[in-house]
Chain A
């Protein structure tokens, strides 16, 4: 076998602390190495061309590149090797950047370690064999989980590109958080005016199937061929008959039902349509509060419904859908501020509310008809305090991160407060104004310069009712270096965000990673922001990290583009790095079946004996079965025991 070794300088990234020339020189002595060299940038076009030329010139059988992480450039070099006429698995990569040059400063030690890693790669390559992918069909259908603005955008873009879309939403209506907003920054245009048309498009698009009141329960399969179980909670209303007339709402006697859509700012009825522009505009019954469903008596809505749409006998159902790709767009929720901010009343003071609740007070479709009225006494507030960073940048409660968009909506709410109540005065207590988006800083300046909002730089220590109907906000003006306080009528908390409730469970269902705050982990924070480490599963919007509307929409489109790109290929190639069963050794114990996280192994009766069998398209090549098999009957292609032991031996020789 003839092997070529190529050592990359990566500019000074590697060469700064590794003697690349010496590493290349050392490699000449390794078995089967026929050619060894170093190069400033192996990934550059001349670098790749050099590989192709040398394979031809020296009639090489395999190539080792020592450079960065395979996560970065393994596909690049595999393509180069393929261009040279070799099988792309006749290639190995030694990571001498992340694993060597970036983590150590001792040049001699680094050079030694780099040489050892190259020797390992060479020893493995000597045992590599050509592998060949298989092609498989994909289902030209995508599942979008969550119908907020990001999910809606992803769904519409995919549907417009000709893909079938299954859109799943947990709430009775789509629109997510944006549907709750009154106006949006930095243009102060009406949220439902710009979101509404998109929502209507969703309902009318021939390629979109919408399931509301629904959640993804189970996902099996693999990229191109997922099978998804969707649990749909009973709405107790036959959507094919409901016209959305709302007569049921008027007569429903359960008038103290908590109003989730209005952020609990007022009660609603047990049967209701959450808001006038709701999509679908269908009534649903909240079974916890419906008198008929809880006490067995009532049935008024059924009597009043002109189309006979009410059906108390409806049951939850499970729907199965087959899709080729999945977009998670489950958004955010506000963190639990009440348990963490006793100094702000911990929820004991009625006029200390969240910014999302304030949106519902501002909205003409909200519980107060768009009049800002205090929850405690229904009076119009004249002094309003806005407190930023409640549950953001606060490591004492385990929230070290910035929630990103609170500075902007706070400025917007201050502006709207002045619009609604011209003789009002708003105070914004902030730590830093974070307004890096297009037209954002200009907008906050307008809030200050044109709307007279008083910005005070300092975190609020406490909110204390004064016993006369107002609340004393105790803060500091850190620019002045003095404690300050102001008596206000209403306090709005810009509460920090976290991944939507239940996001951890969904992540586990989708086999993707999530962080301590319930945000899903992208494949690469800069270069693969909408991909996950599970092929075929993509991210859009705030489920990946706090995002405002423009970014959520952009990411929705980004995720859609990835899905469209994936499913536009006639067929996908399978990864040949999968498990193989040696039938002669297998005793049919089934341990591999139990341990496989992808249900990729079955027990088959082969000529009267039970044997394990790998479903090639499902196997993800994780190697758990290979490590588990007591007989050593399962080997993972490209990572066989022989190959791994050869690497270990190479390391022990040095």
Chain B
């Protein structure tokens, strides 16, 4: 399996551990990641918030590179670990199906974007999340067969965030109200998944800086609920969710008048642990809330 890969800017900074663990896990599973040469920022929320055309153009530059990369390297699909990048890349392609909109985008690019095409030459590729490709293409049975340290005894709240499956018409992934991909993945790793009811509730996204009160309230509720469901940790698939739940956990706790000690791990880090990868390859030391204590439960019999 060979994939064209777009890491996203946060992978170079705040979500370095996501980036590192994604690469390590893919390597261990025999998935080859072909980096997009000289990729640029998709514009993230600020571009999307500012203007649809600007946002689409910033994505289109990368989709164009992705199309070339796939043609040259033989990669079969285009992937990114970051849901925010995913949404922008997918939305750009979706909206560019409208000729009027596409003309506006092409007008601000150096060269017009290749056609979306049915099965034409260098069609503009669709983008998939790493999570989706691991579960749907690589397959849970394949992953299960490579598990060395089952995560037995670990109770995990799977948190998908709002972007992976919404808006449903564009994202085309799982059940938008009750996704189960990550649940099934974590179960394949041997973990116990708690019936977390807020899987797709928003964490506050990029409001952390300009309107911290919103983020605190929303993230606080997510952590509080995970605690009530007896989760040892929350598993996430999004750098922004991770930042709000991990880095900002104390802020949320203060706002809720509570004390939280809830480790928040990327699902790729948990995969790495189960696959028996080196801790340094997974960036566990980059997490603000230490998972050490929680991870000690692995393999221990849980008393009823």
Contacts and interface: CB of A to CB of B under 8 A. Distances in A.
- Direct chain A–B contact by Cβ atoms under 8 Å: yes
Interface of A: 341-343, 346, 348, 464-468
Nearest to A346: B178
B225 interface: yes
Contacts of B229: 467
15 contacts: A341-B177, A342-B175, A342-B177, A342-B178, A343-B177, A346-B178, A464-B197, A464-B198, A464-B201, A465-B195, A465-B197, A466-B225, A466-B228, A467-B228, A467-B229
B247 to A, nearest CB: 24
Contacts of A467: 197, 225, 228-229
A348 B195 contact: yes
B217 to A, nearest CB: 12
Contact of A346 (B177, B225, B228): B177
Which 9 interchain pairs have the tightest Cβ spacing?
A342-B177, A467-B228, A464-B197, A342-B178, A343-B177, A465-B197, A467-B229, A467-B225, A342-B175
Contacts of A343: 177
Interface string B162-201: 0000000000000111100000000000000001011001
Contacts of A346: 177-178
Contact of A348 (B178, B201, B225, B228): B178
Nearest to A349: B197
A343 B198 CA distance: 10
- Interface range, B side: 10 to 19
Contacts of A464: 197-198, 201
B286 to A, nearest CB: 29
Interface of B: 175-178, 195, 197-198, 201, 225, 228-229
A348 B180 CA distance: 13
Most chain A CB within 10 A, of B177, B195, B201, is at B177
Nearest to A467: B228
Contacts of B177: 341-343, 346
A342 B178 CA distance: 6
Contacts of B198: 464
B85 to A, nearest CB: 26
B178 A468 contact: no
Q: Could you say which of A464, A465, A467 has the most chain B C-beta atoms within 10 Å of its C-beta?
A: A467
A346 B178 CA distance: 9
Contacts of B176: 342
Contacts of A348: 178, 195
Contacts of A466: 225, 228
A525 B202 CA distance: 47
Nearest to B228: A467
Nearest to A463: B197
Contacts of A465: 195, 197
Contacts of B228: 466-468
Contacts of B175: 342
B31 to A, nearest CB: 31
Contacts of A342: 175-178
Contacts of B197: 464-465, 467
A468 B198 CA distance: 14
A318 B72 CA distance: 69
Contacts of B201: 464
Contacts of B178: 342, 346, 348
Given A348-B178, A464-B201, A467-B229, 6 more contacts: A341-B177, A342-B175, A342-B176, A464-B198, A466-B228, A468-B228
A462 to B, nearest CB: 8
A468 B228 CA distance: 7
A466 B201 CA distance: 13
A464 B225 CA distance: 10
B205 to A, nearest CB: 18
B222 to A, nearest CB: 11
B188 to A, nearest CB: 21
B80 to A, nearest CB: 26
A292 B228 CA distance: 46
A467 B155 CA distance: 15
A348 B183 CA distance: 15
B182 to A, nearest CB: 16
A170 B197 CA distance: 39
A128 to B, nearest CB: 57
Nearest to A472: B197
A425 B294 CA distance: 42
A464 B176 CA distance: 15
Contacts of A468: 228
A35 to B, nearest CB: 62
A466 B175 CA distance: 21
Contacts of B225: 466-467
Nearest to A344: B177
Nearest to B176: A342
A464 B198 CA distance: 7
